[in-house]
Amino acid sequence: MIHQVIALIALICGIHANNNFYNESLSLTPLARNNLLANFNFEIKSLPKHLSYYNESNDKDSIADASHYTYFPRSIGPLLEKTNTRELHLRFAQGWWDSESWGSLPVNGSKSGGTGVEVWAVIEAPTSKEALKSWSKLAVSLSAFFCASLNFIDESITTFPINAFNPDTSSFSADPANKLFLLRAAMPSEPICTENLTPFIKLLPTRGKAGISSLLDGHRVFDSLWNSMSIDIQTECDDESEACNFKMDQSISVIVDVMRSLRKKENGPIPKPVEGDKLQCDKSRGYSVWQCFPLGLPTEITYSLRDVFGRPINGGPFSSQGVPVTVNFKAEGWDISFKDGMNKVVSLSENDSTYTILGDDEVNIDFKASDSSKTVGLQTAPLHASRSLTGYSQDKGGFRVVFENPGDSAISFVYFESLPWFIRLYLSTMKATSKGQTGTYQEVDSSEYVTLSHYQPAIDRKRPSHMELLVTVPAKETLTLHYEFDKSLLLYAEYPPDANHGFSVEPAVITVLDTNQKKVYELRTTSSLVVLPTPDFSMPYNVIILTGTVISLAFGSLYNLLIKDVITEEEFEKFAAQSKLRKLRAKIKSLKSFLKSK
Partner 1 sequence: MALAETILRAVHKHDLVPKLTRALPWISLLFSFASVIWLLMLPIDGNYRKSYISENALMPGQVTSYFRESEWNIVRGYRNELKIFEGAAIDERNAVVEGWLKDIGLKTAYHRLHDPSVQDNMYAILHAARGDDTEAMVLSVPWTTSDGEYNLGGASLAVALARYFNRMSIWSKNIIIVFSEDGHKSLRSWVEAYHTSLDTTAGSIEAAIVLEYGGDSDYFEYYEMHYEGLNGQLPNLDLLNTANLVSYHENIHISIQQTEGEKLTRNDYLTRLKTFLKGIVSLTLAGIVTPSNGCESFSGWQIQAFTIKVKGTSGGNDITQIGRVVDETFRSVNNLLEKFHQSFFFYLMLGPRYFVSIGTYLPSAALIAASFALSSLSCMLNSGFTIPHFLLNISSVLKFFVMIELSSFLLSTFLPYLVKQTTDESDKISLVNLILLSMTSLVNINSKFAFSMISFSLFFIAMVIVALLILNFSLALCIGLLAMPLQFVQQLLNSIEAKIKVFLCLFVSNPFFVVYITGGLYLEAFGYQNGTLNLMTGLLTSWDDVQCWTWFIVMLGWFPAWLSIAISCGLGDFKNQAPVSYIKKNQ
- Give the x-and-dash track for 134-153 against partner 1 (CB under 8 A): --------------------
Q: How far apart are CA 348 and CA 27, in angstroms?
A: 13
Nearer to partner 1, 4 or 393 (CB): 393
Q: Which stretch binds partner 1 (CB under 8 A): 67-75, 83-91, 139-147, 385-393?
A: 385-393
**By CB under 8 A, what part of segment 386-405 binds partner 1?**
386, 388-392, 400, 402, 404
Task: Read off the DSSP letter of residue 256.
Answer: E
- Establish if 440 lies at the interface with partner 1 (CB under 8 A): yes
b/e sequence 541-573, b meaning 16+ C-beta within 10 Å? eeeeeeeeeeeeeeeeeeeeeeeeeeeeeeeee
Nearest C-alpha neighbor of 228 from the set 195, 255, 252, 250: 252
CB of 564 to partner 1, least distance (A): 7
Nearer to partner 1, 65 or 275 (CB): 275
CA-CA-CA-CA torsion for 223, 227, 231, 232, nearest 10 degrees? -170
Are 309 and 215 contacting, i.e. CB atoms less than 8 angstroms apart?
Answer: yes
Q: Is 293 in the site for partner 1 (CB under 8 A)?
A: yes
**What residues from 105 to 124 belong to the interface with partner 1 (CB under 8 A)?**
115-116
Residues between 164 and 193 that touch partner 1 (CB under 8 A): 188-189
Distance in angstroms (rounded) separating the CA atoms of residues 484 and 461: 20
Dist. CA 510–CA 413, nearest whole Å: 7
- The residue among 432, 480, 479, 472 whose CA lies nearest residue 453 is 472
4: Cα separation from own chain's centroid: 45
Stretch 559-578 residues interacting with partner 1 (CB under 8 A): 560-561, 564, 569
* Positions in 460-519 near partner 1 (CB under 8 A): 478, 480, 498, 500-502, 504
Instruction: Identify which range of 74-82, 93-101, 347-355, 588-596 contacts partner 1 by CB under 8 A.
Output: 93-101
Task: Tell me whether residue 287 or residue 426 sits nearer to partner 1 (CB atom).
Answer: 287
Asked if 22 contacts 205 with a C-beta cutoff of 8 angstroms, the reply is yes
Q: Which residues inside 296-335 make contact with partner 1, applying CB under 8 A?
A: 296-297
Q: How far is the CB of 141 from partner 1 (least distance, A)?
A: 26
Instruction: By CB under 8 A, tell whether 526 contacts partner 1.
Output: yes
Among 56, 59, 100, 168, binds partner 1 (CB under 8 A): 100
Closer CB to partner 1, residue 78 or residue 95? 95
> Site for partner 1 (CB under 8 A): which residue of 8, 19, 33, 108?
33
Positions 221 through 250 that interact with partner 1 (CB under 8 A): 222-227
Rg of the Cα atoms in the chain: 35
- For the bound state, the minimum distance from the C-beta of residue 28 to partner 1, rounded and expressed in Å, comes to 19
Cβ(196)–Cβ(225) below 8 Å = no
Stretch that binds partner 1, among 104-112, 142-150, 156-164, 384-392 (CB under 8 A): 384-392
Alpha carbons 310 and 312: distance in angstroms, whole number: 7
Show contacts of 11-20: CB within 8 Å, 24+ apart: 11/322, 11/356, 11/358, 12/322, 12/324, 12/356, 15/320, 15/321, 15/322, 18/320, 18/321, 19/318, 19/320, 19/321, 20/45
Figure out which of the listed residues 58, 437, 515, 557 binds partner 1, where binding follows CB under 8 A: 557
Cα three-residue angle 115-98-400, rounded to 5 degrees: 65
Cβ proximity of 385 and 349 under 8 Å? no
Span interacting with partner 1, options 273-281, 362-370, 417-425, 447-455, rule CB under 8 A: 273-281
For residues 189 and 116, give the distance between their C-alpha atoms in angstroms, rounded to a whole number.
Answer: 6
How many residues of this chain bind partner 1 (CB under 8 A)? 71
**Closer CB to partner 1, residue 457 or residue 535?**
535
- Which of 263, 396, 424, 476 forms a contact with partner 1 (CB under 8 A)? 263
